[in-house]
Amino acid sequence: MNKEKRISIISVLIVCLSVSIIANVVLGMYADSIQKQVQSKPSYAYITGVVYEEKWIRINPQVDRLGKVPIYRVKVTLGYDVAYTDSCGYFNLIVEQGTYELKFEKDGYYTEYRVVHVYDLEHVEVEMKQKITLKGGD
C-alpha cells in the first residue's frame, strides 16, 4: 500500500472517530437534558367521582327502595379548574399530585365540599341533598 493511501485511510479514521466522539458527547448532553426535564415535570394524578342523591325508587307497585340517583350537570370546582358531571353523575379531573378541596354545586341543591389527597388516582363519591322550598299559601 502506498504512503498516500495510508495517510488517506488514517485521515478518514480520525475524522470518523472525531465525529463519533462528538456525537456521543452531544447525545449524552441531550440525554441529560431530557432526564432533567422529566425529573422537573410535575407528576400528574386523576380525580374521578360520582355525584348522586338518594331517592325512593319504585321497583314495582308494591315495592319502593332507597337508591342512588345520579345528578347531571353538577359543577365541580377545584381552584380555577371546573368540570361538570355527565348524565351518569360522573366527572374527571387531571391534577398534579397533592391535596385539594373540591366544591360541588348545582341550583336546587346544598353545596358540598370534599378534601382529597391525590397521589395517583382518587375516586370521590358525593351525595347531594335537595333544598326544600316551601311555597307560601293564602
Residue 1, pLDDT > 60, answer no
25 and 81 in a single domain? The answer is no
Q: Is residue 20 part of a domain?
A: yes
Residue 136, pLDDT > 80, answer no
pTM (global) more than 0.75: no
Name the nearest CA neighbour of 106 among 49, 47, 51, 50: 51
Q: In the prediction, which pLDDT does 5 show?
A: 53
Domain enclosing residue 6, as ranges: 1-41
DSSP string spanning 20-88?
HHHHHHHHHHHHHHHHHHHHHSPPEEEEEEEEEEEEEEEEETTEEEEEEEE-TT-EEEETTEEEE--TT
User: What is the sign of the dihedral through the CA atoms of 76, 83, 74 and 64?
Assistant: negative
36 and 48 in a single domain? The answer is no
Q: How many domains does the chain have?
A: 2
The tens digit of pLDDT for each residue in 15-71 reads 554 545 554 544 555 555 555 555 555 688 999 999 999 988 887 888 888 888 999
31 and 92 in a single domain? The answer is no
52 and 113 in a single domain? The answer is yes
Phi, psi of 80 (to 5 degrees): -90, -10
CATH number of the domain where residue 63 is located: 2.60.40.10
Q: Is residue 138 part of a domain?
A: no
